Amino acid sequence: MKGTSFFNILILWNMENPSSKILAYSPNWVGDAIMCIPALKAIRKVYSGCDLYMLAVPWVKEVYEFSGIPDYIITYDRRSLHRGLKGTYKLVEEIKQHRITTSFVFPNSWRAALIPWLAKIPTRAGLSRRFRQLFFLNSSAKPEKDFKLKHQVFYYLSVVKVLHPDIHKYEAEVTRTPLLSPGADTKEMGLVHAERLRLKPEKPWLGLAPGAQYGDAKLWWPESFANVADRVAKEYDAQIVIFGSASESDIARRVMSRMKTRCVDLTGKTSLKDAMLLLHHCKVLLTNDSGLMHVGAALGIPLVAIFGSTDPIHTGPFGDPGKTVVLEAKIGCHPCFKRDCPLGHKQCMSEIRPDDVFESIKQLWEK
């Protein structure tokens, strides 16, 4: 063992010890939680037989429940139960009870690095962002210089690579699509939910996800969603179903008010897990760059994704290329990564015509 540090010995012991307890600190957005799944699969590979704990905020934990990858989920309710110093102390004490040996920190924030440090987890791995490595992480690496030219999936895999430089040997396996493969019983549950919501499983569905949490610059025009939905309903006798959270109910109403066809609005009426069950029954999903776009891609649902202010190279749908169509306007200011259009015109969205979107849906529908 000459030349081997105590820290490296600890890492090797964790890998070989089947009773190792690993904590993965989840990103805080639904889309990022989906893009983190290959990294979790990689952890499963290098720590065979470990107990895998997920630390996740309430609105993304259903992604992990659905995936079945973690053994345990610790809910980080930072808006209520774990709010402020007292709440943080309560969370830290809960983590300590599990005697975690290693943590992987996927978010870039100071807080995300601080909590495993406060919980006295021996090995704390993450990427060197905002000088966190000077204080809270005892194993870190700088992000690759070209990380923005690669998909975010590989950014999260690089967090695992901090402790396991040979992680590339599992890359093809853990990134195989679809990322989520629910069984027949899961699809059956979706049918039960469909009947409860008075949906018609016997008709083909066009799913719409016209919202996006990040900001208005990611939203295609409601009238354009309505135009395409009406045409698909007429062409294929399709049922139109709008998906989204309660905060996206307003944009759903704006789409519906411009439609001639009757549609079913599920915004705010299902949990994320129920929405994932129901999305399985969509023939095609039409979506902005949103959490539901990533969910749809992970489930292997054919989809058309519309990109405005963001870059599909970095955060596009990670799925079968034969089942995904990405539409973006190649104009000078795209991508700007802004929440709202700094020029006030959203030309990147206006350039994406309903005719082109309809033809893309038709291409997937008739495959």
Q: Of 174, 202, 223, which closes a domain?
A: 174
Return the H-helix or E-strand segment holding 125: strand 123-127
Comparing C-alpha atoms, which of 206, 260, 258 is closest to residue 232?
206
Same structural domain for residues 37 and 134?
yes
Same structural domain for residues 319 and 192?
yes
Q: Of 139, 174, 209, which closes a domain?
A: 174
Same structural domain for residues 129 and 202?
no
DSSP letter, residue 250: H
Q: Of 122, 145, 174, which closes a domain?
A: 174
The answer as to whether 34 is a domain residue is yes
Same structural domain for residues 188 and 324?
yes
pLDDT of residue 8: 56
Predicted TM-score (pTM) of the model is 0.92
Contact yes or no for 203/239 (Cβ under 8 A): yes
- State how many domains the chain has: 2
Same structural domain for residues 104 and 220?
no
The answer as to whether 179 is a domain residue is no
Same structural domain for residues 161 and 206?
no
Same structural domain for residues 92 and 225?
no
Return the H-helix or E-strand segment holding 116: helix 110-118
Same structural domain for residues 214 and 347?
yes
pLDDT of residue 4: 47
pLDDT of residue 19: 56
CATH number at residue 219: 3.40.50.2000
Specify the pairing of strand 72-75 against strand 239-242.
unpaired
At 364, is the secondary structure helix, strand, or coil? helix
Owning domain of residue 13 = 6-174
The answer as to whether 80 is a domain residue is yes
The answer as to whether 143 is a domain residue is yes
Same structural domain for residues 56 and 151?
yes
Same structural domain for residues 22 and 147?
yes
* Longest CA span, the chain: 75
DSSP string, 177-240: SSS----HHHHHHHHHHHHHTT--TTS-EEEEE---SS-GGGPPPHHHHHHHHHHHHHHH-PEE
Report d(CA 53, CA 24) in Å as an integer: 6
Residue type, position 267, single letter: T
Comparing C-alpha atoms, which of 154, 210, 128 is closest to residue 35?
154
The answer as to whether 37 is a domain residue is yes
Find the helix packing angle between 184-196 and 272-279, rounded to 10°.
100
The answer as to whether 133 is a domain residue is yes
Report d(CA 127, CA 158) in Å as an integer: 8
Same structural domain for residues 203 and 323?
yes
Same structural domain for residues 151 and 216?
no
The answer as to whether 1 is a domain residue is no
367 residues of the chain, pLDDT tens digit each: 444 454 554 555 455 454 599 999 999 999 999 999 999 999 999 999 999 999 999 999 999 999 999 999 999 998 889 999 999 999 999 999 999 999 999 999 988 999 999 999 999 999 988 778 777 889 888 888 888 889 999 999 999 999 999 999 999 999 999 999 877 677 778 878 888 888 888 899 999 999 998 889 999 999 999 999 999 999 999 999 999 999 999 999 999 999 999 999 999 999 999 999 999 899 999 999 999 999 999 999 999 999 999 999 999 999 999 999 999 998 999 999 999 999 999 999 999 999 999 999 999 999 8
